[in-house]
Amino acid sequence: MRPLCQTGAVTSPPATPDGRLVLLRHGETEWSRSGRHTGRTDVPLTEHGEELARQAGRLVADYDFVLTLSSSLQRARRTAELAGLTPEVDDDLLEWDYGGYEGLTTPQIRDELGYDWTVFRDGVPPGDTPGETVEEVAARASRVVKRALAAMAEGDVALVGHGHCLRVLTSVFLRQEPRLGAQLLLDAGSVSVLQFEREQPAIRVWNHGPAVTGH
């Protein structure tokens, strides 16, 4: 039971909890290796992606997480499993819904449009799925951050998810505009650590692990 304040109300989590927020991006897939935008398509890890997940597990082995959350997509759940984590599924950690650009590479999209398109600046059209704006991804990420902050009052939290979503989530955690995520590169199988330093949200470790280019 949580301690009670003098009025009998349940105390709120501290604004700057002591726990750390550990982000684990899933391992490589065939689509990430070839640069294809992989939103809701449920592709598996490659053999190399599974090895990246095992290596990530060694990086987080000394943590004692009070909460572990994962996207429901198999590439995230398998990464968590191989990293030795037992997560609760939270669909707010799903990757950006790329709508009509699902499965396409950035060069393909730019050739079609005739200008230097980026997902953070220009967004996506609907396709087989509706697609999302960066603001909609940030709204989902905000719910995850709120949940994580409450748990970080008790200890460390792990999130297993996807490149673009975790980059937007980091922007939200840092209290910045979600488009900051465009400047935060995150490789497959990497581990990053966020925390508070003198009441300010901060990056402790970023993109730690084998460098593998992917989307």
Could you list the active site residues? 26, 95
For residue 157, the one-letter residue type is: V
Spatial neighbors of 139 by CB under 8 A, at least 6 apart, are none
Cα–Cα distance measured from residue 32 to residue 53, given in angstroms and rounded to the nearest whole number: 14
What letter does residue 174 receive in the DSSP assignment?
A: T
Nearest of 106, 94, 91, 92 to residue 37 by alpha carbon = 106
What letter does residue 79 receive in the DSSP assignment?
A: H
- Which helix (H) or strand (E) segment holds residue 21: the answer is strand 21-25
208: which 2 tokens?
A: 């730690």
SS (H, E, C) 81-118: HHCCCCCEECHHHCCCCCHHHCCCEHHHHHHHHCCCCC
Across the beta sheet with 156-161, what order do the strands follow? 88-89, 65-70, 156-161, 21-25, 191-197, 200-208
